Amino acid sequence: MENIPTRVKLESIESFQSTIRKLEKALAQMIEKGASTSLIEKRLQALRIGLAVLERVWHEQPHPYSQEELAKTREVLAGLLPSIESMCAKSKSGSPQRTLLEKRIRSLELAIKAIAGIFT
């Protein structure tokens, strides 16, 4: 990957960590209610792998994931983008919510790009 400013790297990692925490809380609530959790578990796993890939790529370390795991992760992360972009478009310019969503979009795009770079 091209040179990514340290600030963007830190924001992307923090965004992933925040999203993972939110999904973990949502998963716990869904389990408590007895709801189906397969979709949220799939997304949570993809976010964890995406975060790990970013961290490893930026530190030039090998990753322990198979091509299949990476392909699924890339697909799930790419599938999250349209809804986040839609929410971002509806949010007020300059609002904290929009800033958070823009950081989340950037972090997902970086992870997708990092995973795609592993395949080449």
Q: Map out the domains of the chain as residue ranges.
A: 6-113
Mean pLDDT in consecutive groups of 10 residues from the start of the chain, 120 residues: 87 96 96 95 96 91 90 96 96 95 96 86
Cα 100 from Cα 87, distance rounded (Å): 11
Cα 72 from Cα 92, distance rounded (Å): 33
In this prediction, residue 120 carries a pLDDT of 61
- Residue 48's closest CA among 34, 30, 27? 27
Which residues fall within 8 angstroms of residue 31, CB to CB, at 6 or more apart? 37
3 state SS of 2: coil
Cα 81 from Cα 101, distance rounded (Å): 10
In this prediction, residue 3 carries a pLDDT of 85
Phi-psi region of 34 (alpha: psi -120 to 50; beta: other; left: phi over 0): left
In this prediction, residue 1 carries a pLDDT of 59
In this prediction, residue 26 carries a pLDDT of 96
| Residue 53 near residue 63 (C-beta atoms within 8 A) | yes
Secondary structure of the chain: what % helix, strand, coil (to 5)? 80, 0, 20
